[in-house]
Amino acid sequence: MTTSTGRVKEFFTIARVFGAFYDLYSPERGRQRAVLRGKLRTLVSKERHPFVVGDSVLAEESGGEWVISEKLPRKNELLRKSKEGDAQVLCANVDQIAVLVSLRNPETKDGFLDRCLASAYSAGIPALILFTKKDLVDETVLANRIESYSNLGYDVVTVSCKTGEGIPDLVSKISGKTTFLAGNSGVGKSSLVNVLSEKELQRTSEVSFSTRKGKHTTTNSNFLILEKDIILIDSPGIKEWGILHLTKGEILLSFPELNRFKEECMEPDCCRADLSCRLLQVLESREGIREERRKSLESMLASLDNPFRITRRDHLKNESLS
Ligand SMILES: Nc1nc2c(ncn2[C@@H]2O[C@H](COP(=O)(O)OP(=O)(O)O)[C@@H](O)[C@H]2O)c(=O)[nH]1
Ligand SMILES: [Mg+2]
């Protein structure tokens, strides 16, 4: 594409966002630093997330510097929303989201995984559940968790970055795709990137023993191009995955256990989640849904009713501050 000034515009993907400037990527140009054109800067200043990793843009070279001149429409965007205000856009235009679940050191809660799955479902992005640190986990416990999710139709992979177990299986599921890695801090996102790239690309951190939550090392999302057409977006550890951007209907439909009753709804394509809702009736009957999943769903629905309630953790935080 050529502009009126005769300069050539080229397609790029946003690979990293650093406040005032951006890393762009294209197969032809590799990684390039870029800034926003003045006009675009004013235009996007009102948006909270004008550009996120994965966004497609047009940019042109001007005086040895790359300048983003246009933002292209998104194919999809992954959101989370934990508090009042706008939802946070985590990435755009991905083929799938891999939710990393570590059953030990640190332990990923069911609630986190289920909230991620609901957000992915509503964004129309396929999810892959990735159990990490296989070497640390009891086999029966792990098998139980795997079965619980694979029976629901989820794609599940188990890996260990220590022993390399499961890595070839994972590679077959991420080759040729752009995958967003989601997970709490310390679950092994950066270690996985290292193993897959066979280089110490990402700085990993020892899990801090005082909190067992892991230290933050990745401060903003980063688009990484590996061999075998694997593109990974490593993200900073996410503590909580708020689902306040979703409706009750969207949350119910994101549970395959309930979604299969969708056809029995009185009004097709309508899920108002009121008392006559067939999906809510199934949930209440407690049949066909595992205890942990039901609890997690009920907690999600409750958080919509009372989104800004003070949690026990907030109390503890305030106590420690005072
Ligand atoms: N035992 C074991 N430790 C792992 C494994 N994967 C990662 N770790 C450790 O977990 C800690 C946090 O990993 P890191 O990749 O930084 O997590 P991130 O915060 O999700 O990027 C580091 O000390 C890693 O060495 C694994 O498969 N097995
Ligand atoms: Mg990391």
End position of a domain, from candidates 234, 261, 276: 234
Candidate of 158, 167, 204, 221 to mutate for ligand 1, largest count of ligand atoms within 8 Å of Cβ:
204
The token pair at 93 is 């235009």
Which residue has a Cα nearest atom 9 of ligand 1?
188
Q: How far is the CA of 89 from the centre of ligand 1 (A)?
A: 25
Instruction: Give the mean model confidence (pLDDT) for residues 214-238.
Output: 81
Are 155 and 166 in contact by the 8 Å Cβ rule? The answer is no
Are 24 and 57 in contact by the 8 Å Cβ rule? The answer is yes
Instruction: Give the mean model confidence (pLDDT) for residues 183-192.
Output: 94
**What's the CATH number where 146 sits?**
3.40.50.300
**214 pLDDT exceeds 50?**
no
Residue 5 is labelled as binding a ligand? no
> 197 and 88, same structural domain?
yes
Q: Is residue 322 part of a domain?
A: no
- Domain holding 135, by residue range, is 77-234
How sure is the predictor about 282, in pLDDT bands with cuts at 50, 70 and 90?
confident
How sure is the predictor about 206, in pLDDT bands with cuts at 50, 70 and 90?
very low
Q: Is residue 2 part of a domain?
A: no
> 91 and 195, same structural domain?
yes
pLDDT of residue 183: 96
> 194 and 288, same structural domain?
no
State whether residue 14 is helix, strand or coil. strand
> 91 and 223, same structural domain?
yes
Which residue has a Cα nearest atom 14 of ligand 1?
188
pLDDT of residue 223: 94
Reference 212, options 76, 303, 106; nearest CA is: 106
Are 148 and 154 in contact by the 8 Å Cβ rule? The answer is no
Distance (Å, whole) CA 230 – CA 179: 8
> 117 and 21, same structural domain?
no
**What's the CATH number where 27 sits?**
2.40.50.140
What proportion of the chain, given as a percentage, has pLDDT over 70? 83
pLDDT of residue 271: 66
Q: Is residue 1 part of a domain?
A: no
> 60 and 44, same structural domain?
yes
> 230 and 81, same structural domain?
yes
Reference 99, options 57, 136, 129; nearest CA is: 129
Q: Is residue 88 part of a domain?
A: yes
Write the pLDDT tens digit of every residue in 153-181.
999 999 999 999 999 999 999 999 999 99
> 93 and 197, same structural domain?
yes
> 228 and 82, same structural domain?
yes
Write the pLDDT tens digit of every residue in 38-94.
778 777 767 777 899 999 999 999 888 999 999 999 999 999 998 877 889 999 999
> 300 and 169, same structural domain?
no
Q: Is residue 106 part of a domain?
A: yes
State whether residue 269 is helix, strand or coil. coil
- If you ran DSSP here, which 8-state letter would residue 312 be given? H
> 252 and 171, same structural domain?
no
Q: Is residue 4 part of a domain?
A: no
Count the alpha carbons within 13 Å of 150 in the hemisphere toward its beta carbon.
12
E strand map for the chain: 10-18, 21-26, 30-36, 56-62, 65-71, 77-80, 88-92, 96-102, 127-132, 155-158, 178-182, 222-226, 230-234
Q: Is residue 314 part of a domain?
A: no
Task: Please state the domain count of the chain.
Answer: 3
End position of a domain, from candidates 71, 98, 120: 71
What proportion of the chain, given as a percentage, has pLDDT over 90? 63
Instruction: Give the mean model confidence (pLDDT) for residues 231-258.
Output: 92
Q: Is residue 3 part of a domain?
A: no
End position of a domain, from candidates 71, 96, 111: 71
Distance (Å, whole) CA 27 – CA 182: 25
Ligand 1 atom showing the smallest separation from residue 160 Cα: 27
Q: How far is the CA of 316 from the centre of ligand 2 (A)?
A: 26
pLDDT of residue 154: 97
> 278 and 158, same structural domain?
no
Q: Which residues surround ligand 2, an ion (CB under 5 A)?
A: 189-190, 217-218
Instruction: Give the mean model confidence (pLDDT) for residues 111-124.
Output: 97
Reference 76, options 93, 90, 89, 91; nearest CA is: 93
